[in-house]
Amino acid sequence: MALIVMKFGGSSVADSDKMKHVANKIIARKKGGNKVVVVVSAPGDTTDDLITKCEEITAEPNPREMDMLLATGEQMSISLLAMAIQAMGHKAVSLTGFQAGIATNDEYTRARVQKINPKKIFSLLDKGNIVVVAGFQGMNKAGDITTLGRGGSDLTAVALAAQMKANVCEIYSDVEGIFTTDPRVVKDARKIDLISYEEMLEMAGSGAQVMQTRSIEVAKNYGIEIHARSTFSDKEGTYIVSEEKIGRKKMENLMVSAVTFDKNQVKFSLIDLPDIPGMAAKIFSSIAKLGINVDMIIQSAAWDKKNDISFTVSKSDMKKTQQKVDELAKELGAQKVTCDEHVAKVSVVGVGMKTHAGVASKMFDILAKNKINIEMISTSEIKVSCVIDEADTNKAVNELHKGFKLNKK
C-alpha cells in the first residue's frame, strides 16, 4: 500500500464544483489501495482578499495577527474538502498545521518548518481516513499560528512527504506542469517532462510562479521526487528529480531549459558613496536585519574616491527598504538615493550551461539586437539574469525563448 501526498492549489478549489472534482480525484487514489494525505491552499483569491481587508484597517499590520488572519483561508479549504469527500461516502478528517504536527520558528509571515510529528496523521490513516491538511501554516513554541510565506502550501506538502517517507508527492495546479516559460506570454511555450532540482530552484528563485523555492530545497535535500501536474487533466505533468535521474547526456545536449521573468522587482541605488572598506557590509547587514532578501547587487568601479551601489528587492519590501536606505544614505554620506519600481528581471536557466560556453554572450546579443537595455547582470553556474525596463519584459522573454530554440524538443 503506497502513501501518497497530494497538494492542490487555490485555483483547484476555487468553487464548489472544483472542490467536488478534487474530492473525486482524491477518492480515486484511495480506491487504488493507497493511503492518501491531501494538502490544500486557500480557495481562489482568498489570501489576496484577506490582505486587502487588512489594508483597509492598517498599513502596518501586526505580523502575529496577520498570520492569524491569513491562516483562515486554508482552514476554509480543508473543512469544505473533507465534507465533500464525506458526502461521497468516504472517511476524511481535516487538520490544521498544528494538529498535523508542524512546528515552526517564531518568524511570523515567513516562518520556517523546524520539525514535524506526523503521529496523528498516521493514526488517522490507519483508521481508513483520507487526511486533509491545511497548507501554508504551522505553530511556534508560544502556541501561535505562523504562516510559511507565499506558496507555503508547497512546502507543507513536500515536508510532510519527506517526514512520512511518502512514495509519491504530487503538486496539482491549473497548468499541466512546468513550461519552458509562461505560456500566457509565449504561445509556443513547451511543457518540460523532466527537470532537475537545481534548475527548478533557479526558475522558482527568478520569477517562475510554479513552486515555492524552499519546497524545492527540501525536496532536493531529502530526495523527494515531485510530480507537478494539472488538477483538470489526467496527463502526466513534469517530474522534478535529481540530475542523475535525468541523465548527464541529456542535460549536456540541452544548453538552456527555460526562460523566466519577474516583474515583482524594485531597484535601489545609493549614489556617490565614499569608497572606503565596510560600506557594503553596513548597507546589507542593516537590510538583512529587517528580514529583507536582496536579490541582485552591483557596485560600480570607484571614481574620484566615490562609487555607486545598486540592488534589487521584492516590491512587497519596497517601503521598508526605502526607509532604511534613506537612513543609510545620511549616515554613510551618499549624495542621493534612487528607487525604480519599473524594472523586471529576465533569466535563462539550464543545467547544460555547466558544459556549454557562450550562453551569457548569446543572451546579451539577443537583447541587444532587440534594443533592450541591460541595467544589471548576475550569473550562477546554471543561470544568467538581467534587469531590464519592465516595459520590455514580454518582448525579451519571447525573443530569448525563440533565440534559444526552446519551442523545439
Q: What per-residue confidence (pLDDT) applies to 59?
A: 86
Which amino acid belongs to residue 385?
Answer: S
Q: What per-residue confidence (pLDDT) applies to 250?
A: 55
Return residue ranges of the chain for CATH 3.40.1160.10: 3-250
Place of cell 537612513: 327
Share of the chain above pLDDT 90, in %: 85
If phi > 0 it is left, if psi is from -120 to 50 it is alpha, else beta; for residue 116 that is beta
**DSSP code for 110:** S
Find out whether 275 and 305 touch, Cβ atoms under 8 Å: yes
Phi/psi of residue 59, nearest 5 degrees: -85, -15
Q: What per-residue confidence (pLDDT) applies to 251?
A: 52
**DSSP code for 349:** E
Place of cell 497538494: 7
Options 3.30.2130.10, 3.30.430.20, 3.10.580.10, 3.10.450.40; which CATH number does 259-403 get? 3.30.2130.10
Find out if CATH 3.30.565.10 is the number for domain 3-250: no
Return residue ranges of the chain for CATH 3.30.2130.10: 259-403
Region 268-272: what's the mean pLDDT? Answer: 95
Please give the Cα distance from 169 to 220 (Å, whole number).
Answer: 13
C-alpha cell at 270: 545609493
Using one digit for the tens of pLDDT, what is the confidence trace for 184-225? 999 999 999 999 999 999 998 887 777 889 999 999 999 999
**pLDDT tier at 249, thresholds 50, 70, 90:** very low
Which amino acid belongs to residue 24?
Answer: N
Place of cell 517517507: 165
User: Residue 293: is its pLDDT beyond 50?
Assistant: yes
Region 230-248: what's the mean pLDDT? Answer: 88
Q: What per-residue confidence (pLDDT) applies to 288?
A: 94
State the sign of the Cα–Cα–Cα–Cα dihedral 5, 11, 14, 20: negative
- Cβ burial of 198 (10 Å; 0-12, 13-18, 19+) is buried
Find out whether 345 and 207 touch, Cβ atoms under 8 Å: yes
Region 45-72: what's the mean pLDDT? Answer: 94
Closest listed residue to residue 287, CA positions, set 297, 273, 302: 297
User: Residue 282: is its pLDDT beyond 60?
Assistant: yes
**pLDDT tier at 255, thresholds 50, 70, 90:** confident
Q: How would you list the strands of the sheet with 102-104, edge to edge?
A: 113-116, 102-104, 137-139, 145-147
**Secondary structure of residue 319 in the 3-state scheme:** helix
**Secondary structure of residue 167 in the 3-state scheme:** coil
More confident residue, 1 or 39: 39
Using one digit for the tens of pLDDT, what is the confidence trace for 380-399? 889 999 999 999 999 999 99
Give the total residue count for the chain.
409
Q: What per-residue confidence (pLDDT) applies to 1?
A: 79
Distances (CA, A) of 83 to 77, 134, 389: 10, 14, 48
Region 257-263: what's the mean pLDDT? Answer: 94
Q: What per-residue confidence (pLDDT) applies to 248?
A: 53
More confident residue, 209 or 88: 88
Q: What per-residue confidence (pLDDT) applies to 304?
A: 82
Q: What per-residue confidence (pLDDT) applies to 334?
A: 92
CA 251, chain centre distance (Å): 24
Strands 35-40 and 130-134, bridge-based pairing: parallel
Find out whether 4 and 170 touch, Cβ atoms under 8 Å: yes
User: Residue 258: is its pLDDT beyond 50?
Assistant: yes
Q: What per-residue confidence (pLDDT) applies to 197?
A: 93
CA 104, chain centre distance (Å): 19
Please give the Cα distance from 215 to 153 (Å, whole number).
Answer: 9
Q: What per-residue confidence (pLDDT) applies to 354?
A: 81
Share of the chain above pLDDT 70, in %: 98
Q: What per-residue confidence (pLDDT) applies to 362?
A: 95
Using one digit for the tens of pLDDT, what is the confidence trace for 124-142? 999 999 999 999 999 999 9
Using one digit for the tens of pLDDT, what is the confidence trace for 93-133? 999 999 999 999 999 999 999 999 999 999 999 999 999 99
Q: What per-residue confidence (pLDDT) applies to 85?
A: 98
User: Residue 323: is its pLDDT beyond 50?
Assistant: yes
Region 251-259: what's the mean pLDDT? Answer: 76
Find out whether 192 and 178 touch, Cβ atoms under 8 Å: yes
